[in-house]
Amino acid sequence: MMRLRLNWIAFVVLVGSVTCLGLTGCRGSVSSRPPIHLNPNMDNQAYLQPQEPSSFFRDKRGMRPLVKGTVARGFLRADEHFYAGKVKGKYVKTLPKQIKLTKALLARGQERYNIYCAPCHGFQGDGKGVVTYYSRAINPANLHDDLRRSHPPGKIYDLIANGKMSGKQIAMPSYRSQLSVKDRWAVVAYVRALQLTRYPVAALKKGQK
Ligand code: HEC
C-alpha cells in the first residue's frame, strides 16, 4: 500500500515538472525559423515594391507605365477655391460651392473648433485658451480683433490647412491631418459666426459675409 502511494507521488511530480518545463522552457528564445502557420491561405505571396526592378518584364521595371493617354480623374485637387481657399492666388471671400451654410455646418464647425482650436484660442475665440494659463510662450491670436475680423474666409481656411510660422518657429500648427477639407470650411464658418457674436452691427453695416 505504502509503495503504491510513493509511486503515485513520484509520477505526479514527474508529470508536473515536465509540464512546467514544457510551458516555460522555450519562452523568449529566438528562432530563425518562421512560426508555424497552420492555414496559410494566400497570406504570403511574392510582390514588388514601387520602383523595384523585376526580371519578369522585358524592360526590367516592376511598375508598369501608364497606358498612353491616361488622364487623372478626381485626385488632382484642381478646384482651388475648395482645396486651397484661393482663386488665382487670392484668398476667396466666399464659401466654395460644395459647402452650404447651414445650421448643421455650423454645428460641425463648432464641435471641431472646440476640439482643435479652443485649447489655444478659447471657446469664445478671444485668444485666452487653456494653454495660456500654463505657458506664456504661446500667444494665440484674439480672433475678434480688427485684423482677424478682416481676414477673408480663404485666409482662415489657409491658416487651418497650413498653420503659421513665426520666423523659424511654428506659431500655429497645421490642422490638415486632423480636419478634412469639408471640416476646415465648417470651422471657417464657425469662426466667422463667433466673430459676428461680438460685432453684429458693424458686420451688418459692412455687408460682411
Ligand atoms: C497650439 C495653439 C493653437 C491652436 C490649437 C490653434 N491656433 Fe490659431 N494661432 C495660434 C497662435 C500662437 C497664433 C498667432 C500667430 C501669429 O500671428 O503670430 C494663431 C493665429 C491664428 C489666426 C490669425 C492668424 C493671422 O495671421 O492673423 C487665426 C485666424 C487662427 N489662429 C485660427 C485658428 C483655428 C481656426 C484653429 C483650429 C483649427 C487654430 N487657430 C488652432 C495658436 C493656435
Measured CA distances, 12 to 15, 19, 48 (Å) = 5, 11, 55
| Residue whose C-alpha cell reads 459675409 in the numeric block | 209
What's the pLDDT score for residue 26? 66
What's the pLDDT score for residue 203? 58
CA 65 to ligand 1 center in whole angstroms: 44
Residues 113 and 191: beta-carbon distance below 8 Å = yes
Structural domains of the chain, ranges and CATH numbers in brackets: 80-206 (1.10.760.10)
Reported as type and span, the H/E element at residue 117 is none
CA 62 to ligand 1 center in whole angstroms: 45
CA 80 to ligand 1 center in whole angstroms: 22
To the nearest 10°, the Cα dihedral for 195, 199, 200, 205? Answer: -120
Residues 123 and 197: beta-carbon distance below 8 Å = no
Residues 53 and 62: beta-carbon distance below 8 Å = yes
Q: What is the phi/psi pair of residue 170, to 5°? A: -80, 115
Residues 101 and 195: beta-carbon distance below 8 Å = no
What's the pLDDT score for residue 164? 95
Report residues whose beta carbon is within 6 angstroms of any ligand 1 atom.
116-117, 119-121, 138-141, 143, 147-148, 151, 156, 159-160, 164, 166, 171-173, 175, 187, 191
- What string of pLDDT tens digits covers the 209 residues of the chain? 566 677 888 888 888 888 877 777 666 778 888 888 888 888 888 888 989 999 999 999 999 888 999 988 878 888 999 999 999 999 999 999 999 999 999 999 999 999 999 999 999 999 999 999 998 888 999 999 999 999 999 999 999 999 999 899 999 999 999 999 999 999 999 999 999 999 876 656 665 55
Give dist(CA 62, CA 51) in Å, integer. 6
